[in-house]
Amino acid sequence: MPRPPRIHVPNGIYHAILRGNHRREIFSEHNDFLDFEKLLREALMRYGAQLHAYCYMPNHVHLAIRVSEEPLGSVMHLVASRYARLRQRKVPTTGHFFERRYRAKLVTTDSYLLVLVRYIHRNPLRAGLVSELGDFRWSSHHAYCGLGSCEWLAIEPVLGFFGANRAQAVDEYRRFMADQCVEEDVAQVHPDHRSSADNKRSLPAAAPEPRHDQAPALEDLIHAVAVEQGIDARLLSSRWRTASLSRARAEIARRALQEGVATLSEVARRLNRAPSTLSELISAR
């Protein structure tokens, strides 16, 4: 059967993955990374696209791209075809250089975009290429940390979620990246992923043992508020603080008390917050 056509959403953000055929290496030396990046910049400019994050792994690349009126396929085809020809001139090979079809997934919420950026930047750690995130050169993590300028990389839309002040936003970004949410990130970015530990979806580390009388109703409420406000429910119990997450936490606490779903202490334990913090959030609404 023919593959279904890709959905094009003008101004949409996509997580694109381009892999070497049979997962072979696509970068062999320093200049290969530079050649790929040059072609990517040219494709972005030609088709009016923006790159929010990237990571060049030895046998694949991850990109967070915002497209314009031109579909993502135009960008990916130009980069893949030109880079493949370049490499095959340097190292003659037969067959396809890349997998025949790049993978792409539409980013539908701001919270998903944030988790995606963390997932992309933490790829070298998960693969065991480095022991410290800052040791890997070929990703946009350094630009987000304020280490060097990159005029063709659009980091402001993502950094803006961490604060209006650049220094504060960078600090918050670093804290966000330090959260050990690897399994949760992988599960959200790749829904078919299963944990190698117990093949089960785990609760947040700081969540209490569920109470049979209250937990299901509280979980339902958390899920409902997250859907209503377009937030990833996993982020609600993280250390990360933004205006949108604070509003959602306050709404969960307010409705839990109003509807008799749970006490303030129970909500606080589930969201990994102090009861006084939730009380202040409710009062500020």
Distances 185 to 158, 161, 193 between C-alpha atoms, Å:
17, 18, 10
Interatomic CA distance for residues 127 and 132, integer angstroms: 12
Which is it for the CA torsion 114, 254, 224, 238, positive or negative? positive
Closest by Cα among 149, 114, 121, 159 to 137: 121
Q: β-pairing, 13-19 with 60-66? A: antiparallel
User: Which residue stretches of the chain are H helix?
Assistant: 30-47, 72-90, 110-121, 123-126, 141-144, 156-159, 166-178, 182-189, 215-228, 243-258, 264-271, 275-284
Predicted pLDDT at 188? 64
- How many other CB atoms are there within 10 angstroms of residue 13's CB atom? 23
Predicted pLDDT at 154? 94
Q: pLDDT tens digits for 37-91?
A: 999 999 999 999 999 999 999 899 999 999 999 999 999 999 989 988 888 777 6
Q: pLDDT tens digits for 224-264?
A: 898 888 888 888 888 777 888 888 999 998 888 888 888 88
- Mean pLDDT, the chain, rounded, equals 81
Q: pLDDT tens digits for 202-230?
A: 333 333 333 334 456 888 889 889 888 88
